[in-house]
Amino acid sequence: MALVATLLHVPATGIAASSGPPTPAGKSPAVTLESVAGSPVKRVVLSAKAAERLDIQTGKVGEEAIVPRQMVSGLALVPPDPAPDPKARGGPPGGFGKSTAGELWLRVTLSPAEAGRLAKDKPARVLPLATREKTGRVLAALPSGRPAVEDVRNSMLTLYYIVQGKETGLAAGDRVRVELELAGSVTRQKVVPYSAVYYDAKGAAWVYVNTRPLAFERQRIVVDRVAGDLVVLADGPAVGTPVVTVGAPLLYGAEIFGK
Protein backbone atom coordinates (compact mmCIF):
# COMPACT_ATOMS: atom_id res chain seq x y z
CA MET A 1 0.00 0.00 0.00
CA ALA A 2 2.82 2.37 0.89
CA LEU A 3 4.34 1.71 -2.53
CA VAL A 4 1.18 2.83 -4.28
CA ALA A 5 1.03 6.02 -2.21
CA THR A 6 4.69 6.75 -2.90
CA LEU A 7 4.35 6.25 -6.66
CA LEU A 8 1.36 8.53 -6.77
CA HIS A 9 3.29 11.17 -4.78
CA VAL A 10 0.33 11.77 -2.47
CA PRO A 11 -0.19 11.00 1.22
CA ALA A 12 -2.27 7.99 2.19
CA THR A 13 -5.38 10.12 2.62
CA GLY A 14 -5.03 11.30 -1.00
CA ILE A 15 -5.90 7.85 -2.39
CA ALA A 16 -9.58 7.85 -1.78
CA ALA A 17 -12.92 6.80 -3.13
CA SER A 18 -15.50 9.42 -4.03
CA SER A 19 -16.57 9.42 -0.37
CA GLY A 20 -13.03 10.20 0.90
CA PRO A 21 -11.52 13.49 2.01
CA PRO A 22 -12.18 16.50 -0.24
CA THR A 23 -9.59 17.35 -2.88
CA PRO A 24 -8.13 20.86 -2.79
CA ALA A 25 -9.83 23.24 -5.21
CA GLY A 26 -8.50 23.05 -8.76
CA LYS A 27 -6.88 19.62 -8.30
CA SER A 28 -8.16 16.24 -9.45
CA PRO A 29 -7.67 13.19 -7.19
CA ALA A 30 -4.92 10.82 -8.25
CA VAL A 31 -7.26 7.85 -7.77
CA THR A 32 -11.04 7.66 -7.66
CA LEU A 33 -12.97 4.47 -6.88
CA GLU A 34 -16.36 3.91 -8.50
CA SER A 35 -18.96 1.30 -7.59
CA VAL A 36 -19.63 -1.43 -10.15
CA ALA A 37 -23.25 -2.53 -10.40
CA GLY A 38 -23.77 -6.06 -9.08
CA SER A 39 -20.12 -6.52 -8.12
CA PRO A 40 -18.14 -6.07 -4.88
CA VAL A 41 -15.10 -4.77 -6.79
CA LYS A 42 -14.42 -1.09 -7.32
CA ARG A 43 -13.53 0.50 -10.63
CA VAL A 44 -10.19 2.32 -10.35
CA VAL A 45 -10.04 5.65 -12.18
CA LEU A 46 -6.62 7.29 -12.41
CA SER A 47 -5.61 10.79 -13.23
CA ALA A 48 -3.43 11.08 -16.33
CA LYS A 49 -0.42 11.93 -14.17
CA ALA A 50 -1.03 8.95 -11.85
CA ALA A 51 -1.31 6.55 -14.80
CA GLU A 52 1.98 7.89 -16.15
CA ARG A 53 3.73 7.54 -12.81
CA LEU A 54 2.47 3.98 -12.35
CA ASP A 55 3.52 3.16 -15.95
CA ILE A 56 0.23 1.39 -16.64
CA GLN A 57 0.41 -0.54 -19.92
CA THR A 58 -2.31 -2.48 -21.69
CA GLY A 59 -2.72 -5.22 -24.27
CA LYS A 60 -5.70 -7.22 -25.48
CA VAL A 61 -7.23 -10.61 -24.86
CA GLY A 62 -6.09 -12.64 -27.83
CA GLU A 63 -6.84 -15.94 -29.49
CA GLU A 64 -4.08 -18.39 -30.33
CA ALA A 65 -3.82 -21.84 -31.83
CA ILE A 66 -2.66 -23.78 -28.78
CA VAL A 67 -0.97 -27.14 -29.24
CA PRO A 68 -2.01 -29.56 -26.47
CA ARG A 69 1.03 -30.27 -24.31
CA GLN A 70 1.97 -31.89 -21.03
CA MET A 71 4.79 -30.75 -18.76
CA VAL A 72 6.88 -33.39 -17.00
CA SER A 73 10.24 -33.50 -15.27
CA GLY A 74 13.28 -34.86 -17.06
CA LEU A 75 16.84 -35.91 -16.26
CA ALA A 76 19.77 -35.32 -18.61
CA LEU A 77 22.01 -38.35 -19.21
CA VAL A 78 24.98 -39.16 -21.39
CA PRO A 79 24.04 -41.42 -24.32
CA PRO A 80 23.71 -45.17 -23.78
CA ASP A 81 26.16 -47.79 -24.96
CA PRO A 82 25.80 -48.69 -28.62
CA ALA A 83 24.68 -52.23 -27.74
CA PRO A 84 21.88 -52.03 -25.15
CA ASP A 85 20.61 -55.04 -23.31
CA PRO A 86 17.22 -55.86 -24.93
CA LYS A 87 16.12 -57.70 -21.76
CA ALA A 88 16.54 -54.66 -19.51
CA ARG A 89 13.36 -53.79 -17.61
CA GLY A 90 12.87 -51.07 -15.07
CA GLY A 91 16.17 -49.37 -15.95
CA PRO A 92 17.83 -47.46 -18.79
CA PRO A 93 18.10 -49.21 -22.18
CA GLY A 94 21.73 -50.16 -22.03
CA GLY A 95 24.52 -48.85 -19.86
CA PHE A 96 24.64 -45.06 -19.56
CA GLY A 97 28.15 -43.79 -19.16
CA LYS A 98 29.77 -43.37 -22.58
CA SER A 99 29.51 -39.74 -23.67
CA THR A 100 29.06 -38.81 -27.34
CA ALA A 101 30.24 -35.29 -28.18
CA GLY A 102 27.39 -32.87 -28.74
CA GLU A 103 24.62 -35.19 -27.59
CA LEU A 104 22.64 -35.74 -24.39
CA TRP A 105 19.68 -37.93 -23.65
CA LEU A 106 16.68 -36.94 -21.53
CA ARG A 107 14.79 -39.46 -19.42
CA VAL A 108 11.12 -38.85 -18.68
CA THR A 109 8.70 -41.08 -16.78
CA LEU A 110 4.98 -41.33 -17.57
CA SER A 111 2.03 -43.50 -16.71
CA PRO A 112 0.79 -45.79 -19.52
CA ALA A 113 -2.26 -43.52 -19.96
CA GLU A 114 -0.07 -40.42 -20.29
CA ALA A 115 2.26 -42.16 -22.72
CA GLY A 116 -0.74 -43.23 -24.78
CA ARG A 117 -1.75 -39.59 -25.31
CA LEU A 118 1.65 -38.52 -26.67
CA ALA A 119 2.30 -37.49 -30.25
CA LYS A 120 5.18 -39.94 -30.31
CA ASP A 121 6.86 -38.60 -33.47
CA LYS A 122 6.95 -34.97 -32.27
CA PRO A 123 9.97 -33.33 -30.62
CA ALA A 124 9.81 -32.20 -27.01
CA ARG A 125 10.65 -28.73 -25.69
CA VAL A 126 13.24 -28.49 -22.91
CA LEU A 127 12.88 -25.70 -20.37
CA PRO A 128 14.78 -24.77 -17.19
CA LEU A 129 13.58 -26.11 -13.85
CA ALA A 130 12.65 -22.60 -12.55
CA THR A 131 9.14 -21.95 -13.84
CA ARG A 132 9.64 -18.29 -14.83
CA GLU A 133 13.36 -18.38 -15.71
CA LYS A 134 14.15 -17.07 -19.17
CA THR A 135 16.42 -18.87 -21.58
CA GLY A 136 18.15 -17.53 -24.67
CA ARG A 137 16.46 -20.16 -26.83
CA VAL A 138 14.17 -23.13 -26.49
CA LEU A 139 15.90 -26.49 -26.76
CA ALA A 140 14.34 -29.23 -28.85
CA ALA A 141 14.67 -32.91 -27.94
CA LEU A 142 13.96 -35.54 -30.56
CA PRO A 143 12.35 -38.91 -29.80
CA SER A 144 15.09 -41.51 -29.38
CA GLY A 145 13.17 -44.15 -31.32
CA ARG A 146 13.63 -46.67 -28.51
CA PRO A 147 10.58 -48.44 -27.10
CA ALA A 148 9.33 -47.29 -23.71
CA VAL A 149 10.85 -49.21 -20.80
CA GLU A 150 8.39 -50.49 -18.22
CA ASP A 151 9.14 -50.42 -14.51
CA VAL A 152 7.28 -53.50 -13.27
CA ARG A 153 7.39 -52.24 -9.68
CA ASN A 154 5.12 -49.26 -10.29
CA SER A 155 3.82 -49.81 -13.84
CA MET A 156 5.40 -46.57 -15.03
CA LEU A 157 7.02 -46.13 -18.44
CA THR A 158 10.37 -44.50 -19.14
CA LEU A 159 10.94 -42.72 -22.45
CA TYR A 160 14.07 -41.14 -23.88
CA TYR A 161 14.62 -38.03 -25.98
CA ILE A 162 17.84 -36.76 -27.57
CA VAL A 163 19.22 -33.22 -27.34
CA GLN A 164 21.88 -32.48 -29.93
CA GLY A 165 24.42 -29.67 -30.03
CA LYS A 166 27.42 -28.62 -27.96
CA GLU A 167 26.07 -25.26 -26.72
CA THR A 168 22.91 -26.49 -25.02
CA GLY A 169 23.80 -25.32 -21.53
CA LEU A 170 22.90 -28.80 -20.23
CA ALA A 171 25.10 -31.34 -18.50
CA ALA A 172 24.54 -34.93 -17.44
CA GLY A 173 22.65 -34.99 -14.15
CA ASP A 174 20.74 -31.75 -14.78
CA ARG A 175 17.02 -31.83 -14.05
CA VAL A 176 14.77 -29.92 -16.44
CA ARG A 177 11.16 -29.49 -17.39
CA VAL A 178 10.16 -31.29 -20.57
CA GLU A 179 7.11 -30.16 -22.53
CA LEU A 180 5.66 -33.06 -24.52
CA GLU A 181 3.23 -32.58 -27.39
CA LEU A 182 0.00 -34.56 -27.13
CA ALA A 183 -1.91 -36.14 -29.97
CA GLY A 184 -5.08 -34.37 -31.03
CA SER A 185 -6.25 -31.36 -32.97
CA VAL A 186 -4.92 -27.86 -32.39
CA THR A 187 -7.64 -25.55 -31.07
CA ARG A 188 -7.85 -21.77 -30.89
CA GLN A 189 -8.26 -20.52 -27.34
CA LYS A 190 -8.44 -17.22 -25.48
CA VAL A 191 -5.10 -16.08 -24.08
CA VAL A 192 -3.63 -13.15 -22.16
CA PRO A 193 0.02 -12.34 -21.40
CA TYR A 194 1.28 -13.97 -18.21
CA SER A 195 2.00 -10.49 -16.82
CA ALA A 196 -1.69 -9.55 -17.07
CA VAL A 197 -2.81 -12.10 -14.47
CA TYR A 198 -2.98 -11.09 -10.80
CA TYR A 199 -3.52 -13.68 -8.05
CA ASP A 200 -5.05 -12.42 -4.82
CA ALA A 201 -4.29 -13.71 -1.32
CA LYS A 202 -6.85 -16.50 -1.74
CA GLY A 203 -5.33 -17.69 -5.02
CA ALA A 204 -8.12 -16.34 -7.22
CA ALA A 205 -6.98 -15.14 -10.66
CA TRP A 206 -7.95 -11.71 -12.01
CA VAL A 207 -7.24 -9.29 -14.83
CA TYR A 208 -7.84 -5.55 -14.91
CA VAL A 209 -10.00 -4.56 -17.87
CA ASN A 210 -9.54 -1.09 -19.34
CA THR A 211 -13.23 -0.13 -19.54
CA ARG A 212 -12.66 3.48 -20.67
CA PRO A 213 -9.67 5.84 -20.78
CA LEU A 214 -7.86 5.72 -17.41
CA ALA A 215 -10.56 3.47 -15.88
CA PHE A 216 -9.74 -0.11 -14.83
CA GLU A 217 -12.08 -2.79 -13.52
CA ARG A 218 -11.00 -6.06 -11.93
CA GLN A 219 -12.59 -9.13 -13.53
CA ARG A 220 -12.32 -12.77 -12.46
CA ILE A 221 -10.79 -15.29 -14.86
CA VAL A 222 -10.44 -19.06 -14.88
CA VAL A 223 -6.97 -20.26 -15.91
CA ASP A 224 -6.82 -23.39 -18.02
CA ARG A 225 -3.02 -23.59 -18.16
CA VAL A 226 0.14 -21.61 -18.78
CA ALA A 227 1.70 -21.96 -22.23
CA GLY A 228 5.07 -20.19 -22.24
CA ASP A 229 4.47 -16.45 -21.75
CA LEU A 230 0.73 -16.85 -22.33
CA VAL A 231 -2.05 -17.87 -19.96
CA VAL A 232 -4.81 -19.90 -21.63
CA LEU A 233 -8.24 -18.93 -20.30
CA ALA A 234 -11.08 -21.34 -19.63
CA ASP A 235 -13.23 -18.31 -18.84
CA GLY A 236 -12.64 -14.57 -18.97
CA PRO A 237 -13.19 -11.38 -20.97
CA ALA A 238 -14.01 -11.56 -24.67
CA VAL A 239 -11.30 -11.62 -27.34
CA GLY A 240 -10.18 -8.08 -28.09
CA THR A 241 -10.92 -6.73 -24.59
CA PRO A 242 -8.16 -4.32 -23.41
CA VAL A 243 -6.44 -5.60 -20.26
CA VAL A 244 -3.61 -4.25 -18.12
CA THR A 245 -0.31 -6.03 -18.81
CA VAL A 246 1.94 -3.87 -16.59
CA GLY A 247 0.79 -2.45 -13.26
CA ALA A 248 -2.00 -4.83 -12.19
CA PRO A 249 -0.61 -5.31 -8.63
CA LEU A 250 -0.46 -1.53 -8.17
CA LEU A 251 -4.06 -1.15 -9.32
CA TYR A 252 -5.12 -3.87 -6.88
CA GLY A 253 -3.33 -2.05 -4.07
CA ALA A 254 -5.02 1.23 -5.00
CA GLU A 255 -8.42 -0.48 -5.16
CA ILE A 256 -8.32 -2.12 -1.73
CA PHE A 257 -6.52 0.76 -0.06
CA GLY A 258 -9.26 3.18 -1.04
CA LYS A 259 -12.08 1.08 0.40
The dihedral over CA atoms of 160, 166, 167, 168, expressed in degrees to the nearest 10, equals 10
Residue 182: closest CA among 114, 125, 127, 228: 114
Measure the CA–CA gap between 90 and 92, rounded to whole angstroms.
Answer: 7
Residue 152's pLDDT is: 86
Q: Tell me how crowded residue 199 is: count the other CB atoms within 10 A of its CB.
A: 13
Number of C-alpha atoms within 13 angstroms, CB side, residue 178?
Answer: 29
Residue 81's pLDDT is: 55
pLDDT in tens, the chain (259 residues): 444 444 344 333 333 334 344 555 556 789 999 999 999 999 999 999 999 999 999 999 999 998 888 889 999 998 875 544 444 444 444 444 344 456 899 999 999 999 999 998 999 999 887 654 554 457 899 999 999 999 988 899 999 999 987 778 888 899 999 999 999 878 899 999 999 999 999 999 999 999 999 999 999 999 998 877 899 999 999 999 999 999 999 999 999 886 4
Residue type, 218: R
- 2-65+187-257: CATH number: 2.40.420.20
Distance from the first to the final alpha carbon of the chain: 12
The residue extents of the domains of the chain are: 2-65+187-257, 68-181
Residue 84: closest CA among 158, 146, 143: 146
Residue 160's pLDDT is: 95
Q: C-alpha angle 15/17/20, rounded to 5°? A: 80
Residues with Cβ within 8 Å of 11's Cβ and at least 6 positions away in sequence, in order, are 5
* Residue 139: burial class (beta carbons within 10 Å; 0-12, 13-18, 19+): buried
Residue 102's pLDDT is: 66
Residue 226's pLDDT is: 83
Domain 68-181: state its class: mainly beta
Indicate the SS3 state at residue 195. Answer: helix
Residue 169's pLDDT is: 81
